[in-house]
A and B are shown apart, each in its own frame.
Chain A
């Protein structure tokens, strides 16, 4: 007989669970952050089996026309639980699911919704055509049974407009880029909340697998001009101020860029670059060393290719 501990051990190992095992469940706990606006906070940690990939912040809005979601989590299972929890909370069916960008911790939950209500900007829709399904193997390998039944589905609604209105609630859409090739930030005009997607991280180090730091910094500058009141970041706690999380994200990215440039110029290798000291002012950022080492993997060779001179005799 398999006892509960053995079942948990099997689940923890990411091995397919026996059919009679207790189904995995996410904790969906929406926190009110403004009138008719809630956030389901992600765990401020890397994706792993213990958190089921639920690391991104998800926003829930109640409008007179129905419930609007911004991002929808990492898996079919998450999407299903999110839909049930959001509809129970608002008493209204989900009528729109915005995808902020291509990363699977934000969008693989879309599998739980009718495609016609899942919306992306034209640039994101294009990028998802090729890259959308490409994260599936990695997610299944990391998360095992949490991912069961999850298949990436392309968004059914391509957003041509610069805003959408549901009842009397206007949502302003800002198609930007830099964290990825296509990032969507949304401002809820009623409350002044900026739902920033992964353009803004807060007390959690920014991740950069598809980042273009120069474009990202330009997008942060743009976000600094729109006159919002507070920020829901893609990862990390809500910023009650307009600027703190944006400034922190900008500070980390600028430091990262300068640090890697300098490491290449000084002839350091990738191992040394990943172990460089992280300044004390970033002590509050979760997963800082982890993301620095990932960023070295993303950028270091490219910087070397541009910064290191040819030394061969054919040049």
Chain B
């Protein structure tokens, strides 16, 4: 099945399964997918476009297989969940982040399949969603796109490796995590879907900082940045799992030591 066909089938299945719902607002980005995608992601909940959801990304996609996107909703009180999605990707949703003791900031790198809106949506305590985003042209990097063969093929030797840092800045703790993982989408050749699917961050006595549900549209060797409300001296534990049932575990002790110059 082509990727377009499989994608359409998935969307149709989602739409058919959805109950009757309130009308979504008109899309300021004019995306052909907005109505169908919005219904599948937000269901009956009220949705508004709100520029305080800052969706930040570079002007060009220098590498369309690793396009960095940040969602910064720290100007909004009471955010409990953040979605990152790209309407015209074969797998639109990239990450569904449920916040615990954390600030509404999130970043990762996603794959881009074509020119597409890239969006962030944040859910408030009353269940409503605030959405923002912009278009990105996946062909932007043009001549410097690395050839396909450049993609790392040595993930099997490095599976389970996690690099990271947690740094206390102005009372909050910035957590940066980088995994080795192929993040296969199931859309290329005969390679089945294989992706990191969950990452949970906890503090002392299991206190939840956040829970990431991750799709294969996140880039190979996935990276995440979050800002958590760790207490002074509180260690951060990461527990993750991929779609083959492999577990990932890491620990980070936040530091305030000045960076080497």
0/1 interface trace, chain A 255-275, chain B, CB 8 Å (1 if under):
000100110011111111011
- Contact partner of A311 (CB less than 8 A), chosen from B56, B63, B139, B162, is B162
Q: Which residues from A are CB-within-8-Å of B160?
A: 312, 314
Q: Is the CB of B166 within 8 A of A267?
A: yes
Instruction: Tell me, in angstroms, the Cα distance from A261 to B260 when the chains sit together.
Output: 9
Total contacts A-B at CB 8 Å: 134
Answer yes or no: A304 CB below 8 A from chain B CBs.
yes
Q: Which of B134-152 contact A (CB under 8 A)?
A: 139, 141-145, 147
Mostly, the A contact residues are helix
Given A310-B162, A313-B250, is A266 in contact with B167 using a C-beta cutoff of 8 Å? Answer: yes
A279 CB–B CB distance under 8 Å: no
> When the two chains form their complex, are residues B174 and A274 in contact, meaning their CB atoms are under 8 A apart?
no
> In chain B, what residue has the closest Cβ to A289?
B59
Check if B225 is an interface residue, CB within 8 A of chain A: yes
How many angstroms from the CA of A259 to the CA of B60 in the assembled complex?
20
Please tell me if the beta carbons of B248 and A312 are within 8 angstroms of each other in the complex: yes
Q: Mark A292-314, 1 if CB is under 8 A from B, else 0.
A: 01101110010011001111111
Q: Does A103 contact B (CB under 8 A)?
A: yes
Task: Indicate whether A301 sits within 8 Å of B147 (C-beta atoms), given known contacts A262-B261, A271-B70, A293-B59.
Answer: no
A52 within 8 A of partner (CB): no
CB closest chain-A residue, reference B63? A297
- Are B143 and A269 in contact, with the CB atoms below 8 A? no
The count of chain B contact residues (Cβ–Cβ below 8 Å) is: 46
Q: Out of A266, A271, A308, which one reaches B68, CB within 8 Å? A: A271
B249's nearest neighbour on chain A, judged by CB, is A313
In the complex, A308 Cα to B62 Cα: how many Å? Answer: 23
Contact yes or no, B178 A139, CB < 8 A: no
Complex CA–CA separation, A293 to B175 (angstroms):
22
Whether the pair A311, B164 counts as a contact (CB closer than 8 A) is yes
Knowing A138-B144, A269-B70, A270-B109 are in contact, say whether A294-B60 is a contact too (CB < 8 A). Answer: yes
A221 to chain B, nearest CB (A): 22
Q: A139-B143, A141-B139 are in contact. Are A309 and B250 (CB under 8 A)?
A: no
- In the assembled complex, A178 has its CB within 8 A of some CB on chain B: no
A269's contact among B68, B139, B144, B251, by CB below 8 Å, is which? Answer: B68
A198 is an interface residue with CB less than 8 A from chain B = no
* C-alpha gap A313/B235 in the complex (Å): 14
Q: Is B259 an interface residue (CB 8 A)?
A: yes
**A interface bracket (residues with beta carbon within 8 Å of B):** 35 or more
Most buried by B among A141, A207, A272, A297: A297
B165 at interface (Cβ–Cβ under 8 A)?
Answer: yes
Please judge, given known A-B contacts A103-B143, A142-B143, A267-B176, whether A312 and B62 are in contact too, CB under 8 Å. no
Whether B143 and A47, one on each chain, are in contact in the complex, defined by CB atoms closer than 8 angstroms, is yes
Partner of B260, one of A104, A105, A142, A265: A265
Closest chain-B Cβ to A274's Cβ sits at a distance in Å of: 5
Option from A269, A293, A294, A297 in Cβ contact (under 8 Å) with B223: A269
Contact pick for A312, options B60, B69, B250, CB 8 Å: B250
Report the minimum CB–CB distance from B163 to chain A (whole Å): 4
Bound complex: CA of A240 vs CA of B261, how far in Å? Answer: 35
B221 at the interface (CB under 8 A from A): yes
Supposing A290-B59, A298-B62 touch, asked if A311 and B250 sit within 8 A by C-beta, the answer is yes
Residues of the A chain whose Cβ atoms lie less than 8 Å from the Cβ of B164: 308-309, 311
Can you list, as one digit per residue, whether each of B216-229 has a CB less than 8 Å from chain A (1) or not (0)? 00000101010000
Which residues on A are within 8 Å of B, measured CB to CB? 46-47, 103-105, 131, 134-135, 137-139, 141-142, 207, 209-210, 258, 261-262, 265-272, 274-275, 289-290, 293-294, 296-298, 301, 304-305, 308-315
Q: A267-B175, A308-B178, A312-B162 are in contact. List 7 more A-B contacts (CB 8 A).
A: A137-B145, A261-B260, A262-B259, A266-B259, A270-B68, A301-B178, A312-B249
Question: What 5 A-B pairs come out closest when comparing CB atoms?
Answer: A265-B259, A209-B144, A297-B62, A270-B68, A269-B225
